[in-house]
Amino acid sequence: MVTGGAGFLGSHVVSRLRSRGCKKIFAPRSREFDLVTIEGIKQAMSEGCPDIIIHLAARVGGIGANRANPGTFFYDNIMMGTQLMEEARLEGVEKVVVAGTICAYPKHTPVPFKEDALWDGHPEETNAPYGLAKKMLLVQSQAYRQQYGFNSIYLLPVNLYGPGDNFDPETSHGIPAIIKKCLDAIDEGKNEIVAWGTGKATREFLFVDDCAEAIILAAEQYNSSEPVNIGAGFEISIKDLVELIAKKTGYRGSVKWDTSKPDGQPRRSLDTSRATEAFGFTAKTPFEVGLEKTIEWYKSERSRRGHNVGQRGTATRFLT
């Protein structure tokens, strides 16, 4: 069972599972199974009868959505994850793979982030409720392994990007938001776009296909509750990112930085050595190559379906 299996990351995971010969894959959809409720989880477990669960479903969004909905982001994510793991334990599921979040790290974690630093401080304020809700699943995983011998693993994917991403300006993350702004400005003949913050913050980005491969490798080979970073092992400033996307999209106008908006966490870059040592994962897609694939996908979808392609139409969304 892949929760969130119809979403951005989940659809890539499901596709790779099928390519590996998995024939019985159940991806519960949020319109049929409300995984925030125990009733919805029980219904999904009854219908899917899973041996292995890959839990990717989440209530997610960018900085703006996190600031506007901290209670929702906390409640929905903690209820989905903790109740699902408990029900999996009760039903004798063989293994649960949990996708945590890089937002669980303390605000001023030394770069590169090492998994041992997870508890060295409080997460960055704008997404702390979301980050802490997801981090509780690590606590649960370790507690259940200690008390019940339950096999669950906890992965920490860095910021993802790629074809099929969310381009809704209300909820999207950095890369799709900037791509859309640049292409909208070109189409509308505007010579200025607005970006949040100062541009000084740094981020690390992982191509979605690479992340899907990491999750499957971990599901196949990793059996410890020690958390594992999933990333590409580099960082880029938001300013450099915006300039690169402008170049790749053909936008030649100026960028106005709205410094009244937050930068978020000052720096993000992961130490990915544990993933390499534990299950042989190393990111394969060069950043500019992945960026070009993402831009070309979005351009194609815009031509086919209009400028609102990839938009979810709500202030927050589930990755399902």
What pLDDT shows up at residue 310? 53
Q: What is the mean pLDDT of the chain?
A: 93
What pLDDT shows up at residue 307? 63
The C-alpha atoms of residue 142 and residue 43 are separated, in whole angstroms, by 26
For residue 270, the Cα-to-chain-centroid distance in whole angstroms is 15
- pLDDT tens for 132-146 read 999 999 999 999 999
Residues 105, 130, 161, 222: which is the catalytic one? 130
130 is catalytic: yes
The answer, yes or no, to whether residue 246 has pLDDT greater than 50, is: yes
The answer, yes or no, to whether residue 71 has pLDDT greater than 70, is: yes
What pLDDT shows up at residue 26? 98
- pLDDT tens for 72-94 read 999 999 999 999 999 999 999 99
Does residue 92 form part of some domain?
yes
Does residue 188 form part of some domain?
no
Does residue 246 form part of some domain?
no
Does residue 108 form part of some domain?
yes
Do the bridges between strand 152-157 and strand 95-99 make them parallel or antiparallel, or are there none, so unpaired?
parallel
Residue-range definition of the domain harbouring residue 73: 2-165+204-234+267-286+313-318
pLDDT band at 172 (very low <50, low <70, confident <90, very high): confident
pLDDT band at 65 (very low <50, low <70, confident <90, very high): confident
What pLDDT shows up at residue 308? 62
Considering just the CA atoms, what is the radius of gyration of the chain in Å?
19
Q: Choose the weakest-confidence range: 116-125, 155-164, 166-175.
A: 166-175
Task: List the CATH number of the domain containing 229.
Answer: 3.40.50.720
Does residue 255 form part of some domain?
no
Does residue 72 form part of some domain?
yes
Does residue 62 form part of some domain?
yes
What pLDDT shows up at residue 171? 76
How far apart, in Å, are the Cα atoms of 252 and each of 69, 157, 255, 288? 35, 33, 10, 18
What pLDDT shows up at residue 155? 98
Does residue 170 form part of some domain?
no
What pLDDT shows up at residue 80? 98
Q: Choose the weakest-confidence range: 184-188, 228-232, 312-316.
A: 312-316
Number of domains, the chain: 1
